[in-house]
Structure 1
Amino acid sequence: MPPMTGLPDPFQTWFAAQGWRLHAHQQDLLARADAPALLLVAPTGAGKTLAGFLPSLMELGTAPPPGLHTLYVSPLKALTADIGRNLKRPIDGMGLQIRVEDRTGDTTSSVKRRQRADPPHILLTTPESLAVLLSQPDCGRMFAGLSRVVVDEIHALAESKRGDQLALSLARLQHLAPGMRRVGLSATVEDPAALGQFLACHPDPSEIRHADPGPAPDIAMLDAGVAPPWAGGGGRYAIAAILEQVKAHRTTLIFHNTRAQAELFFHDLWLQNADALPIAIHHGSLSRDARARTEAAMTEGRLRAIVCTGTLDLGIDWGDVDLVIQVGAPRNVKRLVQRIGRANHRPNVPSKARLVPANRFEVVECLAALQAVQARDLDGAPRGPGPRDVLCQHILATAAAGPFDADALFAEVTTAGPYTALSRARFDACLDFAATGGYALRAYDRWQRLMQRPDGMWQLRDPRAAASIRMNLGTIIDIETLKVRMRRSRGGAPLGEVEESFAATLTAGDTFLIGGQVVRYEGLREMTVEVSRSPGRDPKVAVFNGTKFATSTLLADRILQILQAEDWPDLPGHTRDWLALQRAVSRLPQPDRLLLETFPHDGRQHLCVYGFAGRNAQQTLGLLLTRRMEDAGLHPLGFVATDYATLIWGLDPVTDPHALIRAADLRDGLETWLQGNAVMKRTFRASAVIAGLIDRVHQGQRKSGRQATFSSDILYETLIKYDPGHLLLDITREEAMRGLVDFGRIEAMLARVADRVDHVALPRVSPLAAPLFLEPGRIPIHGAGRERLLSDAAEKLMRTAGLTP
């Protein structure tokens, strides 16, 4: 085997013994190891992590100097542990004297103290643990010799407030270690330049390196042999076909979009698993031990399949996975590509994936996703400026580390990618908030946290506050959850957690699904849900704090383009017939027009708005339109929303829907609605916790959800009444508009269609609107016969819409 460029003899020898060769992008990063900042964009399985670490391993060599040389940051604690195991192999194999350790929330206090006094050569951590390290008074000594920071899965971090927190930490690290070099490792993204801006503020475009994208994936829709149902999201109809795929492959990952769907599917999968194939479940609401057991069994090759959610989207290297199945429309092309890459996680080997649409409309969504993947067309939207609640937290963390100069801190903060456009006035407002709590709260001692010394430096008013600040660092806001355990008489084993609001609906004897098993609610003991096993019962579905993704703008646009075709040869016959009938009796939605349908059904008048703006925006549209209908005396009764449409029903017909759809009126209505709504209060609480106004942990004890909610509600009402221009209320409005209600997509939709609104008045329900009547919450059907009742209801409704004989 010919020698590899840039590798010293021990590395050459070890790589040759493994039968490995460096890829071009790995050689590239070695050659550019001295660059101030490098971003590597590479597909899953291309060896990104090795590319990031090789320069450090070579610089440290066989006799490394003491002190921290390389800091590795990843989104997941599990990923740091996996990377640690993978690094140990070449380090031990080449006899390198390099210490590698991880530091996460699971690291013991004694190890954390020792690491600050005697740091390893390579430290593996997460954004939250890094923020805590930087809040320590000795952080300057610990990081003074830092040579390189490697940020793994940077594309995932850049999409959330965890990324904003990390960007501020990178700016602080650069101040402490001016010679520090940055390396970002990313999956394929739609805008590498934006990611480069996030990593290093103003990167040279030449420092963004691209790996060979490799062969196109083997991806298609799975032919289940039966038509999918008209509504629903579980994919249960395809279980027999999915089991055949599992039997035909070594290891299969079966992804779902929500934890609740994963639980239901896993339960039904086991009921049909006649061959007793070893199958497990993995999601973020399961106990740590349950997840660890699944990961260990997977690593050891003892499982044929895992039913999972976004917890397995990122980088854990399981080479035996040879098939990925996505149940339900993927909603987001980037996430789909990332999941596809988990199969055949090796370069130059095509990944294999199958999509399983959960209902008829998702057939169209899946086709749009397939076309986007084949065209290498990725979705994404600019994140906008860095959020100010994260900046407020960073100011407090900086003060916990020691006195600071405001001018220097402002200069430092504006070198962080998300905060380059931050004005001095906005920075000063955040500093004033961190110091005093703002105008309405400055009279209270508890929020008097910072003071300015005669020399102009800022410091903590009470040094003892530093411990509380450190305990409350982080941007991940926990929904109020309760632990679920087996009853003490049954051993008390932890099973996971459920949301507090779900637990409040349970009475003794109720059953629900968790960890793939049916359990019976026995009672609440010391804020823990106690259960016993209850197989064979018809369970409720636990409510989990799982992310519910909306269909991306790119996918929505592709769906609208598909609908414009004369015929649909790539769609199955049942879906082609459905769309053709919609075109015959009404219209199909168009990209540059807004379709509104009105029709009577079942004694009620209905309005259907096809906005294709994503579920959050369509739900918000339903709230705003029903409010405007109420003001107009149209007596709306309710609505239901999907990613593509909002269906509203009421007592009176809507004869002029154009009057309801005006952007300015909708925005005014949103502001009024948000003012006293629970959405606003919930958003305020999250921002108040992040900004440091409310402690999530007090004197070492985590507050219960009710305690935190009570505190935040009082503060919210106080500020609304006495200081409506308060910084935190301003932040709350921005967050609510951007995230929970997604009003920006409504405005973008209305701007796209302008006044091109098509109103079609129909004598009966349209084919495209019919499935909305079957959405959860629209036809509440419970009990042992619910599947049959739902099927009968669907058949009757589709006959009304002209879809069945």
Structure 2
Amino acid sequence: MSRLPDVITTWFSSRGWTIHPHQQDMLARADDPATLLIAPTGGGKTMAGFLPTLAELAAGSHDGLHTLYVSPLKALAADIKRNLRTPVDEMGLPIRIDDRTGDTPSSRRRSQRADPPHILLTTPESLALLTSYEDAPRMFAGLKRVVIDEIHALAENKRGDQLMLALSRLQALCPDLRRVGLSATVDDPAAIAHYLARHPDPCDIVLADPGPAPDIRMLQTDAAPPWAGGGAAHAIPAVLEQIKAHQTTLIFHNTRAQAEVFFRNLWLANDDGLPIGIHHGSLDRAQRERVEAAMVRNELRAVVCTGSLDLGIDWGNVDLVIQIGAPKNVKRLVQRIGRANHRYNAPSKALLVPANRFEVVECQAALQAVEAGTLDGTPRTHGPRDVLCQHILIRACAGPFCAETLFAEITSVGAYSALSREEFDDCLAFCATGGYALQAYDQWQRLLQRPDGQWQLRDPRAARRIRMNIGTIQDADLVKVRLKRSRGGKPLGEIEESFAATLSAGDTFLIGGQIVRYEGLREMTVEVSRNASKTPKVAVFSGTKFATSTQLSDRILTILKQDSWPDLPPHTAQWLELQRSVSQMPRRGELLLESFPFKGREYLCVYGFAGRNAMQTLGLLLTKRMEELGLDPLGFVATDYATLIWGLEEITDAEPLFDAQALRDGLDGWLAGNAVMKRSFRAVATIAGLIERNTPGQRKSGRQATFSSDILYDTLRKYDPDHLLMQITRQEALSGLVDFGRIEEMLARTRGRTRLLRLDRISPLAAPLLLEVGKVPVKGAAQEKLLKRETEEMMRRAGLTDLPG
């Protein structure tokens, strides 16, 4: 297809638009098996993905579902529906469009299966559910195209693996199905193309004109950033001035808890009563939708948000993005920047606000990466087998299947193309019986093989339970929060169950920007009342805590080795100069360690730059080694760039601590019975279908699920240590929660060279970590003054009192 029908070209002309070159390229490739479009935010990439569909539907009639659109966010699906509905209505095209997510009413879901729309907008989980029904072949019979938006975000996690397995099923039902991937931020186009295509089919890559470079810089504030912490309270006045100077500002945070605190501080300082909202994943859906609707109507001057607004929601009046705290990842930063000036060839405008002194350096590194046009990313690994187990169960729900045929479908997925038949058979055996140690229990006897060789559900009634547990998202265990005295108990959102367990009657916390008082727990719901008279505790939301990418860490090390720092604010540049005079700068080719005394304790600071999870794990392993060597460690604290350990004995020889094999042996011993492994096992077992979080009529609480998963873990560890799920759990723990691979990369990067410096006082780079050690909840003015005095005393001892700010 090379040209548009007249009705579409006329509509373009009526808007004063001309088709962009990359949109024309997508039309020309409409019949290709797979196409990846990389286009800047605001460049019309969503329209480019849909143009072939609109052209085909405008040119002739089509019965049933023609195009499936998949996005990572429910809000994005709703936004695309609204934006797509406008041109279709204005062109008078008889095209039916609908969306299907977890929020869609059951009556509408049933009608969609019975009489599918021409275009269905959905999420990976809802698509997986649709493929599980016996009537899936009828519903998808006429499917011609799948459009995957923000494909880079899905390619990084298990949701994307589940999506591609679902597409392998759709491709089997519709052999001529064409795939389209859309993204603005791809660090490795060839890898994403391999991920998108049906293996071994090719995938064309269309690169649009990237447009003008973004206008991005650090926000200048009157007050210098603090030495430690992540609240950025020092920047509130400057942020308010920026909000006043722009139409609409999105203020991004890396965690939900930080967003809540910042929103509260911003609101208290908002003397002009500017309309400001908050949006994150723990808020009640109705509240999120109110904020989204207000943004569509251009009623808000600012929204404090998290990753819930990272992806391509089109709010045209957003003309500024502010990132609070170091971005940790350049690709994520570029994605967030793209939310501002969401128009073709209009430069995005963004400001970075470092929350503390070290983040000034990290923000400078991020600015350099954006200017150079380099993105960071983690290489794709083989497809996870827990997701594969869930897919096998989903396939069984749809009816009997042939193992040979299913194996061929699965290995057509790029991430699973190297899957061996033995690995597949292990997953199939687990789905059938639960594995050697569990096969005597009826509840895990789920599949049976018929005399004709086909596999099917042992009990058809199990399909309902499997469908209720479809999905790979493993949020922390959340409980609902409702107002106790409002009619019907108005929902406010969710908090972590572990946080709720710490609350006593009268405690207060922040949610949705308001302070509420804990009244009690009733039927797994936290009941609260409004209370504005107390300083709140802060709910520890389940929002992601990002680790600095290896590429960004490398740029930080490059900045640190400079002779001077003219691009950094004076307070930070002089801080680094003092570090060089008191100690040394960390270098890429060696591992810097500092030891020094402070208040009767001995401290060891390790500058590994391996990310928070890895540095946390390194602290655990080093203190374990120190105990074995009789060095009496007392504790440690970790950040993205360093681990600080304190104890009773001075460290005079670091070589025994950093033996790679000893560290791995220590990790193996530590992991064996550790809560980290149990937490990983619980997530793996839930995805693979061994543990059901949802059952007809009830949902297990986090505590119940943990109890049952711990029993299963201990059973398998004792009687079947090589069980499939135990293998997967170890892989997950090593790469995720403990990130041991980053430690090995750090040791390889420093080539085993460690430099231990003995100092007579705290070094400037180590001083902020000592503040992390003493971090306690601040409940009032007296505590704040005490903390301020302690900070000043610590900085005086480090020689930092003469620096600006």
TM-score category of the 2 structures, normalised to the smaller one: over 0.9
- Select between 772-781 and 410-419 the one with higher mean Cα deviation: 772-781
Is the CA contact 1:62–1:95 (under 8 Å) kept in the aligned structure 2? Answer: no
Distance (whole Å) between structure 2 residues aligned to residue 250 and residue 55 of structure 1: 35
TM-score (ref. length: structure 1): 0.98
Deviation at 1:110, TM superposition (A): 2.1
Gaps of 5+ in 1: none
Gaps of 5+ in 2: none
1:47 counterpart = 2:44: yes
Q: 2:31 is matched by which residue type in structure 1?
A: D
Choose from 145, 153, 157 the match for 2:154: 157
- Determine the structure 1 residue equivalent to 2:678: 681
Distance (whole Å) between structure 1 residues aligned to residue 189 and residue 200 of structure 2: 11
Deviation at 1:388, TM superposition (A): 0.3
- Determine the structure 1 residue equivalent to 2:527: 530
Is the CA contact 2:654–2:754 (under 8 Å) kept in the aligned structure 1? Answer: no
1:457 counterpart = 2:454: yes
1:761 counterpart = 2:758: yes
Choose from 53, 76, 79 the match for 1:82: 79
1:647 counterpart = 2:651: no
- Determine the structure 1 residue equivalent to 2:179: 182
Distance (whole Å) between structure 2 residues aligned to residue 780 and residue 657 of structure 1: 35
- Write out per-residue CA displacement over residues 208-250 of structure 1, whole angstroms, 9 at most, x where no aligned residue: 1111110001000000122111001011101001100000000
Is the CA contact 2:311–2:335 (under 8 Å) kept in the aligned structure 1? Answer: yes
- Determine the structure 2 residue equivalent to 1:337: 334
1:368 counterpart = 2:360: no
1:575 counterpart = 2:572: yes
- Select between 175-184 and 64-73 the one with higher mean Cα deviation: 64-73
Is the CA contact 1:75–1:126 (under 8 Å) kept in the aligned structure 2? Answer: yes
Which aligned segments of 4 or more residues in structure 1 are displaced greater than 4 angstroms?
A: 201-206, 776-782
Is the CA contact 1:640–1:778 (under 8 Å) kept in the aligned structure 2? Answer: no
- Determine the structure 1 residue equivalent to 2:102: 105
- Select between 472-481 and 338-347 the one with higher mean Cα deviation: 472-481
- Write out per-residue CA displacement over residues 320-347 of structure 1, whole angstroms, 9 at most, x where no aligned residue: 0000000100000000000000000001
1:695 counterpart = 2:692: yes
- Determine the structure 2 residue equivalent to 1:264: 261
- TM alignment of 1:161-560, pairs within 5 A: 161-202=158-199, 207-488=204-485, 492-560=489-557
1:731 counterpart = 2:722: no
Deviation at 1:201, TM superposition (A): 4.2
- Write out per-residue CA displacement over residues 735-771 of structure 1, whole angstroms, 9 at most, x where no aligned residue: 1111111111000000111221111011111111001
SS at match of 2:26: helix
Q: 1:123 is matched by which residue type in structure 2?
A: L
Distance (whole Å) between structure 2 residues aligned to residue 172 and residue 629 of structure 1: 53
SS at match of 1:172: helix
- Write out per-residue CA displacement over residues 608-662 of structure 1, whole angstroms, 9 at most, x where no aligned residue: 0000000010001011111111111111111110000000001111111221011
Question: Structure 1 residues 75, 777: closer, same or farther in 2, change over 3 A?
Answer: farther
Distance (whole Å) between structure 1 residues aligned to residue 246 and residue 202 of structure 2: 42
Distance (whole Å) between structure 2 residues aligned to residue 777 and residue 175 of structure 1: 59
Choose from 635, 638, 641 the match for 2:635: 638
Distance (whole Å) between structure 1 residues aligned to residue 778 and residue 533 of structure 2: 20
- Select between 115-124 and 772-781 the one with higher mean Cα deviation: 772-781
- Determine the structure 2 residue equivalent to 1:783: 780
- Determine the structure 2 residue equivalent to 1:741: 738
Is the CA contact 1:62–1:96 (under 8 Å) kept in the aligned structure 2? Answer: no
Question: Structure 1 residues 187, 241: closer, same or farther in 2, change over 3 A?
Answer: same
Distance (whole Å) between structure 2 residues aligned to residue 157 and residue 272 of structure 1: 38
Distance (whole Å) between structure 2 residues aligned to residue 389 and residue 283 of structure 1: 28
Is the CA contact 2:41–2:184 (under 8 Å) kept in the aligned structure 1? Answer: yes
Is the CA contact 1:490–1:532 (under 8 Å) kept in the aligned structure 2? Answer: no
- Write out per-residue CA displacement over residues 507-533 of structure 1, whole angstroms, 9 at most, x where no aligned residue: 111111111111111111222111111
SS at match of 2:781: coil
Distance (whole Å) between structure 2 residues aligned to residue 233 and residue 385 of structure 1: 35
- Write out per-residue CA displacement over residues 644-687 of structure 1, whole angstroms, 9 at most, x where no aligned residue: 00000011111112210111111111111111111111111110
Q: Percent identity?
A: 71
SS at match of 2:736: helix
Distance (whole Å) between structure 1 residues aligned to residue 115 and residue 355 of structure 2: 53
Distance (whole Å) between structure 1 residues aligned to residue 486 and residue 101 of structure 2: 34
Distance (whole Å) between structure 1 residues aligned to residue 723 and residue 342 of structure 2: 50
Deviation at 1:780, TM superposition (A): 6.1
- Write out per-residue CA displacement over residues 338-391 of structure 1, whole angstroms, 9 at most, x where no aligned residue: 000000000110000000000110000000000000000100011200100000
- Write out per-residue CA displacement over residues 25-59 of structure 1, whole angstroms, 9 at most, x where no aligned residue: 11110111010100001121111110000100110
Distance (whole Å) between structure 2 residues aligned to residue 676 and residue 42 of structure 1: 48
- Determine the structure 2 residue equivalent to 1:610: 607
Q: 1:88 is matched by which residue type in structure 2?
A: R
Choose from 22, 26, 33 the match for 2:19: 22
Distance (whole Å) between structure 2 residues aligned to residue 105 and residue 430 of structure 1: 28
Question: Structure 1 residues 490, 396: closer, same or farther in 2, change over 3 A?
Answer: closer
SS at match of 1:785: helix
SS at match of 2:596: strand
Is the CA contact 1:37–1:181 (under 8 Å) kept in the aligned structure 2? Answer: yes
Deviation at 1:203, TM superposition (A): 6.9
Deviation at 1:787, TM superposition (A): 3.2
Distance (whole Å) between structure 2 residues aligned to residue 366 and residue 101 of structure 1: 41
Is the CA contact 1:201–1:420 (under 8 Å) kept in the aligned structure 2? Answer: no
Q: 2:179 is matched by which residue type in structure 1?
A: R
Is the CA contact 1:593–1:753 (under 8 Å) kept in the aligned structure 2? Answer: yes
Deviation at 1:701, TM superposition (A): 2.2
Choose from 655, 659, 671 the match for 2:668: 671
Is the CA contact 1:62–1:97 (under 8 Å) kept in the aligned structure 2? Answer: no
Distance (whole Å) between structure 1 residues aligned to residue 158 and residue 357 of structure 2: 35
Distance (whole Å) between structure 2 residues aligned to residue 515 and residue 581 of structure 1: 42
1:624 counterpart = 2:605: no
Question: Structure 1 residues 684, 632: closer, same or farther in 2, change over 3 A?
Answer: same
SS at match of 1:61: helix
SS at match of 1:775: helix
Distance (whole Å) between structure 2 residues aligned to residue 703 and residue 187 of structure 1: 39
Is the CA contact 2:734–2:740 (under 8 Å) kept in the aligned structure 1? Answer: yes
- Determine the structure 1 residue equivalent to 2:769: 772
Deviation at 1:790, TM superposition (A): 2.7
Distance (whole Å) between structure 2 residues aligned to residue 661 and residue 692 of structure 1: 39
SS at match of 1:600: strand
Q: 1:313 is matched by which residue type in structure 2?
A: D
TM-score (ref. length: structure 2): 0.98
- Write out per-residue CA displacement over residues 705-752 of structure 1, whole angstroms, 9 at most, x where no aligned residue: 122111111111110111011110110000111111111100000011
SS at match of 2:646: strand
- Select between 119-128 and 491-500 the one with higher mean Cα deviation: 491-500
Distance (whole Å) between structure 1 residues aligned to residue 492 and residue 621 of structure 2: 40
What CA RMSD, in Å, does the superposition of the two structures yield over aligned residues?
1.4
Distance (whole Å) between structure 2 residues aligned to residue 607 and residue 776 of structure 1: 13
Question: Structure 1 residues 713, 66: closer, same or farther in 2, change over 3 A?
Answer: same
